[in-house]
């Protein structure tokens, strides 16, 4: 019997990214009031050797343990500890350089003393900087000082040459924090008190650091130096990850991570309150959490598990999040309210609806839309039932909506493809030894043979890309939207413990890449993803977001084409559809907004600073509010509704607009008119 891959596919890797860098794993209630002296624990030598041995033996990517790798691990480790160059001085880096070629030997010997030495200095520098920040709170600040700026992106600048230069970095940062709180209607005294508590809390976090934190950081520097989706999880964090995957978790339905002391939204979980509200997005920063009543608690600098504890709660209760929007040039705060609920499996299942865009009401037969949030086990059977239900409603075509779908089961991507073709290869999988297995559909039945379009975006990844690529390669469907994420690899999760380790401290676990996907046409989905037949306008540049910008991601390459036959030659049809799409987009006011936002984003995307002049920041906020209100009233007018004086007056769901889905529907109608992509087939 043919062996099938059973690994899960997703573009969200289990990694240090989802966990706090300086997070204690101690259960003690006593907090030391000094920087701890950290040394490697006994189990870490064994764990380091097992991680190295597993990667060398089982990883898809072959690598050498040498000085070149050591340099990569060293560089990555420094960035893990001080990504934005806010703590280490140039003199520290010069001193650390003696260890640059030692990490390969340290891993082989299981002696990570150099990493502990560097980490110890990091703790001391952080304590010094936060104490300095506290001292700056006693000073007076002029928020009208012309040309004063906070340079928040310091990744590519030189390390500060001395303490005076670093002091200026922190003057900007403290003033920025104070101005943000002032713009959030805090009095000067309230703002200073909030920041004092924030900086003191950061210092206490340093005092709680233990040896496992160091080990996790260096092992992830090593893992990510090999490949982008390879990582190490400490025993406590592996357990925490499993708890976070519990589908009965009561909260808002968002995957969070820690970045530079901020809690950042990594992914919105389908079916949860955050997903249903549409108000919280990936890259948003949660800076404050409040309950239904009472104050908003500042959570900058908190551990991830502590922030999660504040956010989660009983179903039906209210939680309020103060959010720094990730897409905001003005870096403005928004207060978002959610009603907590259970994120249940059924809420994450595929859903269907009968759909006609308002612009074509009365002109066209209805379409079926099937929204698929992930490739969960049982997806294909569920979609089969949804198709049957849509058929009873005389739909003229189907749109498969894969926007935001980060992947899931390889087997489901294969069987879902099988609903729309009779039989044939779906995806090729190459293992590290070069063997290529072809995953096939072989039932000889097409469950739906009508016109089909597939809607994707930059967040569509992995299993989503397998399905979309197969539909495109077979000329079975038109793929519409943004270029997809570009993750074409398989990961395996493995514990480091052995049965004979029972009486020893646990060793944690690893995730590593074992295989790579290829389209049946031969090209990898890695880096490139799936390029739609009809591209939507997008502010997301593929080279700047997605797998292609992940450091040490496996490259794009090609293998031989599988043996398959396309349904028809559709290039002429695509050319016609593209021309009609372009004409509509130029006349669509919603796309005019999108083009304007893209142009604004392109102007500001390379800015690495933000003004510290209060009047300039207020002007930016006012401009944003005016633009938002103006667009809202223009939309209301087009719908024949009365304008509003403020966004607070807008009735809920009054403007439930999805221009991308509307245009996908219009393209589907154009497709139906061409007579292409419908198949004469045996039906189940």
pLDDT band at residue 630 using 50, 70 and 90 as cut-offs? very high
Going from the C-alpha of 266 to that of each of 23, 31, 125, 330, the distances in angstroms are 18, 30, 28, 21
The answer to whether residue 611 is catalytic is no
Residues 6+ apart with CB under 8 A from 620: 329, 330, 332, 611
Least confident of 303-307, 343-347, 401-405, 502-506: 343-347
Please choose, from the candidates 573, 360, 571, 367, the residue with its C-alpha nearest in 3D space to the C-alpha of residue 450.
367
Across the range 521-537, mean pLDDT stands at 95
The answer to whether residue 162 is catalytic is no
Across the range 89-97, mean pLDDT stands at 98
Q: Flag whether the pTM goes above 0.85.
A: no
> Do 655 and 636 touch, CB atoms closer than 8 A?
yes
The catalytically annotated residue of 275, 284, 473, 662 is 473
- Name the burial class of residue 419, with classes exposed (0-12), middle (13-18) and buried (19+) by CB atoms within 10 angstroms of its CB: buried
> Could you read off the pLDDT of 591-613 as tens digits, one per residue?
999 999 999 988 888 889 999 99
Least confident of 78-87, 308-317, 343-352, 572-581: 343-352
Q: With a cut of 50, say whether residue 76 has pLDDT above it.
A: yes
> Do 443 and 423 touch, CB atoms closer than 8 A?
yes
Across the range 315-327, mean pLDDT stands at 82
Domains annotated on the chain, with CATH: 62-226 (no CATH), 248-343 (2.30.42.10), 348-489+522-568 (3.90.226.10), 586-662 (no CATH)
Higher-scoring residue by pLDDT: 648, 379: 379
Going from the C-alpha of 679 to that of each of 413, 446, 566, the distances in angstroms are 21, 9, 11
Helices (H), ranges, 64-187: 67-81, 90-96, 103-109, 113-136, 163-183
Helices (H), ranges, 261-408: 273-277, 304-311, 379-391
Least confident of 145-159, 349-363, 419-433: 349-363
3-state secondary structure 1-44: CCCCCCCEEECCCCCHHHCCCCCCCCCCCCCCCCCCCCCCCHHH
Q: With a cut of 60, say whether residue 329 has pLDDT above it.
A: no
pLDDT band at residue 139 using 50, 70 and 90 as cut-offs? very high
The catalytically annotated residue of 487, 509, 611, 676 is 487
The DSSP string of 580-631 is HHHHHHHH-HHHHHHHHHHHHHHHHTT--EEE--HHHHHHHHHHHHHHHHHH
Residues 6+ apart with CB under 8 A from 309: none
Helix (H, G, I), strand (E, B) or coil at 102: coil
Phi, psi of 630 (to 5 degrees): -60, -45
* HSE-up of residue 187 (Cα within 13 Å, Cβ side): 2
Q: With a cut of 70, say whether residue 498 has pLDDT above it.
A: yes
The catalytically annotated residue of 231, 234, 352, 462 is 462
Higher-scoring residue by pLDDT: 291, 1: 291
Q: Report pLDDT for 32.
A: 56
Q: Report pLDDT for 535.
A: 96
Q: Report pLDDT for 162.
A: 96
> Could you read off the pLDDT of 10-54 as tens digits, one per residue?
443 333 333 334 433 333 334 458 999 999 998 999 999 999 999
Q: Report pLDDT for 567.
A: 87
Across the range 521-545, mean pLDDT stands at 89
> Could you read off the pLDDT of 355-371 as tens digits, one per residue?
988 766 667 789 999 99
> Do 152 and 85 touch, CB atoms closer than 8 A?
no
**CA–CA gap between residue 335 and residue 324 (Å, rounded):** 9
Across the range 381-393, mean pLDDT stands at 96
**CA–CA gap between residue 595 and residue 578 (Å, rounded):** 17
Give Cα 420 to chain centroid, integer Å.
30
What's the chain's average pLDDT?
86
Q: With a cut of 90, say whether residue 570 has pLDDT above it.
A: no
Phi-psi region of 682 (alpha: psi -120 to 50; beta: other; left: phi over 0): beta
Produce one character per residue of 496-531: b if its CB has 16 or more CB atoms within 10 Å, e if not: bbeeebeeeebbbbbbbbbbbbbbbbebbbbbbbbe
The alpha carbons of the chain give a radius of gyration, in whole angstroms, of 27
The answer to whether residue 13 is catalytic is no
Q: Report pLDDT for 313.
A: 82
Phi, psi of 215 (to 5 degrees): -60, -45
Higher-scoring residue by pLDDT: 670, 306: 670
Q: Report pLDDT for 681.
A: 40
> Could you read off the pLDDT of 449-490 as tens digits, one per residue?
999 999 999 989 999 999 999 999 999 999 999 999 999 999
pLDDT band at residue 307 using 50, 70 and 90 as cut-offs? confident
Q: With a cut of 70, say whether residue 512 has pLDDT above it.
A: yes
> Could you read off the pLDDT of 347-356 as tens digits, one per residue?
568 999 999 8
Going from the C-alpha of 210 to that of each of 23, 24, 623, the distances in angstroms are 8, 6, 47
Produce one character per residue of 654-666: b if its CB has 16 or more CB atoms within 10 Å, e if not: eeeeebbbbbbbb
Give the whole-number percent of the chain exceeding pLDDT 90.
59
Q: Report pLDDT for 431.
A: 94
How many helices (H) and strands (E) are present in the chain, helices listed first? 18, 23
The helix or strand, by DSSP H or E, that contains position 516, with its residue range, turns out to be strand 509-518
> Could you read off the pLDDT of 403-419 as tens digits, one per residue?
989 888 889 999 999 99
The helix or strand, by DSSP H or E, that contains position 396, with its residue range, turns out to be none
């Amino acid at each position: 019997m043919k062996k099938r891959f059973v690994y899960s596919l997703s573009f969200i890797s289990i990694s240090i990214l989802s966990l706090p860098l300086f997070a204690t794993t101690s259960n003690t209630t006593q907090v030391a009031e000094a920087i701890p002296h950290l040394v490697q624990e006994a189990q870490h030598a064994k764990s380091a050797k097992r991680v190295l041995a597993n990667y060398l033996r089982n990883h898809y990517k072959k690598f050498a343990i040498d000085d070149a790798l050591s340099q990569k691990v060293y560089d990555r480790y420094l960035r893990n500890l001080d990504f934005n160059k806010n703590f280490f001085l140039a003199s520290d880096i010069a001193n650390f350089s003696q260890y640059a070629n030692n990490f390969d030997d340290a891993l082989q010997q299981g002696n990570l003393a150099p990493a502990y030495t560097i980490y110890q200095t990091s703790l001391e520098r952080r304590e010094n900087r936060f104490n300095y920040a506290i001292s700056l709170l006693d000073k007076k600040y002029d928020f009208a000082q012309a040309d004063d700026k906070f340079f928040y992106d310091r990744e590519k600048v030189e390390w500060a040459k001395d303490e005076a230069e670093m002091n200026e970095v922190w003057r900007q940062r403290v003033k920025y924090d104070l101005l943000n709180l002032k713009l959030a209607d805090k009095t000067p005294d309230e703002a200073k008190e909030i920041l004092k508590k924030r900086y003191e809390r950061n210092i206490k976090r340093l005092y709680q650091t233990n040896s496992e934190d160091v080990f996790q950081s260096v092992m992830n520097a090593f893992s990510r130096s090999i490949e982008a989706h390879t990582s190490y999880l400490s025993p406590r964090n592996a357990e925490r990850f499993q708890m976070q995957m519990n589908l009965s978790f009561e909260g808002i339905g968002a995957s969070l991570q820690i970045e530079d002391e901020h809690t950042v939204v990594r992914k919105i979980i389908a079916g949860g309150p955050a997903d249903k509200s549409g108000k919280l997005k990936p890259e948003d920063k949660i800076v404050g959490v409040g309950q239904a009543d009472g104050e908003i608690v500042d959570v900058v600098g908190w551990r991830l598990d502590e922030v999660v504890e504040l956010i989660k709660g009983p179903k039906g209760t209210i939680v309020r999040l103060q959010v720094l929007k990730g897409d905001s040039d003005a870096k403005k705060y928004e207060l978002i309210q959610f009603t907590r609920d259970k994120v249940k499996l059924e809420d994450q299942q595929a859903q269907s609806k009968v759909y006609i865009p308002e612009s074509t009401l009365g002109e066209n037969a209805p379409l079926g839309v099937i929204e698929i949030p992930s490739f969960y086990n049982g997806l294909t059977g569920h979609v089969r039932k949804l198709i049957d239900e849509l058929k009873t409603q005389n739909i003229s075509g189907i749109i498969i909506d894969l926007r935001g779908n980060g992947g899931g089961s390889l087997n489901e991507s294969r069987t879902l493809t099988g609903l729309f073709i009779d039989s044939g290869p779906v995806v090729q999988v190459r293992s590290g030894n070069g063997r290529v297995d072809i995953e096939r559909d072989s039932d000889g039945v097409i469950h739906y043979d009508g016109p089909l379009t597939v809607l994707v975006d930059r967040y569509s990844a992995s299993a989503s890309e397998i399905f979309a690529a197969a539909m495109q390669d077979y000329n079975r469907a038109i793929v519409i939207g943004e270029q997809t994420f570009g993750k074409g690899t398989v990961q395996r999760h493995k514990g480091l413990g052995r049965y004979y380790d029972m009486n020893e401290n646990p060793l944690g676990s690893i995730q590593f890449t074992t295989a790579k996907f290829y389209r049946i046409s031969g090209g990898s989905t890695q880096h490139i993803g799936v390029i739609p037949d009809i591209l939507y306008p997008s502010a997301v540049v593929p080279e700047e977001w997605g797998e292609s910008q992940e450091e040490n991601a496996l490259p794009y390459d090609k293998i031989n084409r599988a043996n398959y036959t396309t349904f028809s030659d559709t290039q002429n049809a695509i050319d016609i559809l593209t021309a009609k799409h372009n004409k509509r987009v130029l006349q669509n006011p919603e796309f005019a907004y999108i083009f304007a936002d893209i142009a604004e984003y392109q102007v500001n995307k390379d800015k690495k600073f933000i003004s510290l002049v209060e009047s300039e920041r207020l002007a930016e906020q006012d401009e944003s509010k005016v633009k938002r209100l103006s667009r809202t009233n223009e939309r209301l007018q087009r719908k024949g509704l009365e304008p509003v004086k403020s966004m607070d007056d807008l009735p809920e769901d009054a403007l439930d607009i999805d221009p991308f889905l509307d245009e996908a529907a219009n393209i589907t109608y154009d497709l139906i008119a061409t007579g292409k992509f419908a198949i004469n087939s045996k039906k189940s």
